[in-house]
Amino acid sequence: MTLDLKTKTLPAGPDAAAEAAECLRGGGLIGFPTETVYGLGADAANPAAVARLYAAKGRPSFNPLIAHVASLDSARGLARFDATALRLAEAFWPGPLTLVLPKAPGCTVSDLATAGLDTVAVRIPAHPVAQAILRAFGGAVVAPSANRSGHVSPTTAAHVRADLDGRIDLIVDGGPVEVGVESTILGCLGAPVLLRPGGAPREAIERLLGFALAEPAAAPAGDHAPLAPGMLASHYAPGAQVRLDARDVRPGEALLGFGPVALPGAEAASAIRNLSPAGDLAEAAAHLFGFLRELDASGAHAIAVMPIPHQGLGEAINDRLRRAAAPRD
Ligand code: TXA
Ligand code: MG
């Protein structure tokens, strides 16, 4: 018996890149791998395609998208880079860093994709499959993570299918991603501001800059346009409750471990995944979203999460876990 999937999936390769580019040209939506998470791509310059993308994801359209391009030259056609932004781009691209910059005069990214802001978020992904698709297409591709809004980000093609089958036109399967958490977002509209911790660790960015990153000013009460509008408190949410910094495992809970597991009650956990038995943060980031999905699917009512060190990729991991644990709307 064959499984009747509504969205076509192709293994990564030259044919898939060409078909993905063709699909984008026709206003279609593609799921594709980047080194951070799978993205849901649309032609950035096509407002109808961008509108379809928001609808497929179930995303509020006041939340702007990241424009992905293959080269710094293309990025400079979309946005204005000051000396600091240029240094960051040259050091971290291609890679898991997104820069929020002033739009360039000829910026082709549709106003719908930037939610009417006069800034644009830009990234050059390092994944060879993303690079191949961007080069075959030629233009900018806007791509949020390829999950339904509010769900955990996808790190495999199967995750994309689970959330978006039948809602998008094509999925390119490039295997599991390498980084596992989304890109770090820096606002570069003056002194660089860390808007979202992610795959490029703060320490590496601060080392390059030679100074500490500013924190985003707290949005004034009642302000519905925070600096990175997507950073809503409850996000990346699995169905199960998430309990952080667990020092024990309570009856009926599943356990998300890190490092050696020696917690009271662990032997009775309803399911166990260990992000990295050796305590390696890069390995933990790569496993984070997949393990959250698996523990959620195990039917546990709650997931106890062991403490994760708050350095390097740990800052992004803890940020996503905090959001997964936040009270739901
Ligand atoms: O790793 C990633 O960044 C992945 C892959 C696919 O590239 N993409 C991703 O996109 O995580 P998304 O849409 O899930 O998150 C983009 C974030 C949102 O929080 C959005 O509010 C913020 O970027 N953003 C986009 N444009 C912005 C702008 N002009 N100013 C401030 N924040 C912006
Ligand atoms: Mg997302």
Q: Does the structure show a pLDDT above 60 at 297?
A: yes
pLDDT given for residue 62 in this prediction: 74
Answer yes or no: are the C-beta atoms of 227 and 186 closer than 8 Å: no
Q: Does the structure show a pLDDT above 50 at 222?
A: no
Residue range 97-117, pLDDT digits in tens: 999 999 999 999 999 999 999
Nearest CA to ligand 1 atom 19: 230
Question: Span 270-275, mean pLDDT?
Answer: 97
pLDDT given for residue 236 in this prediction: 63
pLDDT given for residue 230 in this prediction: 56
pLDDT given for residue 231 in this prediction: 58
Instruction: Look at residues 74, 238, 205 and name the one whose alpha carbon lies nearest to residue 140.
Output: 74
Mean pLDDT of the chain: 92
Q: Where are the domains of the chain?
A: 8-209, 241-325
What Rg, from alpha-carbon coordinates, does the chain have? Answer: 19
pLDDT given for residue 149 in this prediction: 87
pLDDT given for residue 224 in this prediction: 39
Nearest CA to ligand 1 atom 31: 228
State the pLDDT confidence band at 55, using cuts at 50, 70 and 90: very high
pLDDT given for residue 137 in this prediction: 98
> Edge-to-edge strand order for the sheet containing 302-305?
241-243, 302-305, 253-257, 272-274
State the pLDDT confidence band at 215, using cuts at 50, 70 and 90: confident
The CA distance from 321 to 199, in Å, is 15
pLDDT given for residue 228 in this prediction: 62
Residue range 147-162, pLDDT digits in tens: 998 889 999 999 999 9
- Regarding pTM above 0.90, the answer is yes
pLDDT given for residue 326 in this prediction: 86
State the pLDDT confidence band at 329, using cuts at 50, 70 and 90: low
Residue 143 CA: nearest ligand 1 atom is 6
Q: What percent of the chain shows pLDDT beyond 70?
A: 92
pLDDT given for residue 217 in this prediction: 65
* Number of C-beta neighbours around residue 101 at 10 A: 24
Known binder of ligand: residue 110? Answer: no
pLDDT given for residue 150 in this prediction: 83
Distances (CA, A) of 169 to 38, 64, 243: 15, 22, 37
Pick the CATH number of 8-209 from 1.10.20.10, 3.40.1190.20, 3.40.50.1000, 3.90.870.10: 3.90.870.10
Answer yes or no: are the C-beta atoms of 248 and 296 closer than 8 Å: no
Q: What percent of the chain shows pLDDT beyond 90?
A: 84
State the pLDDT confidence band at 63, using cuts at 50, 70 and 90: confident
Ligand 1 proximal residues by C-beta, below 6 Å: 34, 36-37, 39, 63-66, 98, 100, 114, 117, 119-121, 123, 125, 143-145, 182-183, 185, 195, 227-231
